[in-house]
Chain A
Amino acid sequence: DTGVSQDPRHKITKRGQNVTFRCDPISEHNRLYWYRQTLGQGPEFLTYFQNEAQLEKSRLLSDRFSAERPKGSFSTLEIQRTEQGDSAMYLCASRPSGGANYGYTFGSGTRLTVV
């Protein structure tokens, strides 16, 4: 297994454009998480899925953000009408379900720059 993959690694976009990021979790992990990290801060939770069901969304996830996980495999995070404040590292993580006795595996992230 190659771990959690995120694509692209870097994205530069103009303000007002839409962007979409992809995350491929470890295949046997049915939990998938999205986090956002700005410079000097720890990652902040955005949302998570168990299989294809989106179970929780943070208040940070405004209506310009949408996440999907069709068929419970890969996930996409879309940001519509990007703003400069959306510039951050977007991280994806996965783990098996079954409680807190499992470690989380993170991807390398997608760094978004909105100009």
Chain B
Amino acid sequence: GAGVSQSPRYKVTKRGQDVALRCDPISGHVSLYWYRQALGQGPEFLTYFNYEAQQDKSGLPNDRFSAERPEGSISTLTIQRTEQRDSAMYRCASSPMGEEQFFGPGTRLTVL
């Protein structure tokens, strides 16, 4: 079956612009996670959802970052007023119900 997909795969934006990153989880997976991965580092937790409910957003760096999953399937991570320090690989993962998480290909964000 289809794995986790993310779009766009690459995003280049200018400082100050807003960006929206999309995650399409594996069909039927209850849990959806957002991570940020710096080069050479492990993924760092941002936020996660069970169904449409955001369970934990403690990893979001500041209030410019937000996420939603309105229908319990596709999720969008939005970064407002982007800054150069936001440049990173943003990864989404989904899970049937916690524990085993399957990652998407990521969105490489570059803020100029």
Co-assembled chains A and B? no
Which residues of A pack against B, CB within 8 Å? Answer: none
B interface with A by C-beta (< 8 Å): none
